[in-house]
Homo-oligomer: A and B are copies of this chain.
Amino acid sequence: MDKTNNIFQTLSDPNRLRILKMLQARSLCVCEITSVLEIGTSTVSNHLSILKKDGFIIDEKEGKWVNYKINPRPADDRVSSILSTLDFWIADETSIINDKKKLANVNRITLCMK
C-alpha cells in the first residue's frame, strides 16, 4: 500500500505532472525544465529526485549536464501504466500546451551559458 500511496502522492503535484508531460516530448536537462516551470533550480531538482525514486524517470550524465528522460522500462506495473496513459489523465490543457510552446524555444546552450 505504501508504494501505491507514494505513486499517487508523486502524481498529486502539478509541477511534477508538468515535468512528466515535458519529458514525454523530449529529454531535458534541469536548467531547461527550470526555465519552463519558473521555480527555483533546487525545487526542480527535488521534484526530479522524487519522480526518479518512484521509477517514472531516469537520468544520464552528459558532461556538465544531467539529462532526465522518461524511464523506458519501469519495474513497477503501476508506473508503466501511468506513463502509457498520461494523455488520458491529463487532457491537453492550458498549462501543458503552454509548456510545450515554451519548450520549443528552449535551448540549453543559450539558456545556461550566460
Contacts and interface: CB of A to CB of B under 8 A. Distances in A.
Interface of A: 1-2, 4-5, 8-9, 11-14, 17, 77-78, 81, 88-90, 93-96
23 contacts: A1-B14, A1-B90, A1-B94, A1-B95, A1-B96, A2-B14, A4-B17, A4-B89, A4-B90, A5-B13, A5-B14, A5-B17, A8-B8, A8-B9, A8-B11, A8-B12, A9-B9, A9-B12, A11-B12, A12-B12, A77-B88, A78-B88, A78-B89
Q: How many copies does the complex hold?
A: 2
A5 B1 contact: no
A1 B78 contact: no
Nearest to A21: B1
Nearest to A2: B14
